[in-house]
Amino acid sequence: MARLPRYVIPGQPQHIIQRGNNRQAIFAAEADYQFFRDALVEAALKHGLRIHAYVWMTNHIHLLATPEFDDSISKVFQSVGRKYVQYFRKRRGQVFYYHILSCHTRPHGAPPQT
**Has residue 16 been placed in a domain?**
no
Number of domains the chain contains: 1
**Has residue 106 been placed in a domain?**
no
**Has residue 41 been placed in a domain?**
yes
**Has residue 48 been placed in a domain?**
yes
pTM (predicted TM-score): 0.76
**pLDDT tens readout for residues 37-86:** 999 999 999 999 999 999 999 988 888 999 999 999 989 988 998 899 88
**Has residue 76 been placed in a domain?**
yes
CATH number at residue 75: 3.30.70
The residue that leads in pLDDT, 28 or 41, is: 41
The reported pLDDT for the residue numbered 100 is 27
The residue that leads in pLDDT, 19 or 36, is: 36
Q: Closest Cα partner for 62 from 11, 28, 13, 104?
A: 13
**pLDDT tens readout for residues 94-112:** 553 332 233 333 455 666 6
Domain that holds residue 59: 22-92
Letter string b/e over residues 101-113, b meaning 16 or more CB atoms within 10 A of that residue's CB: eeeeeeeeeeeee
**Has residue 78 been placed in a domain?**
yes
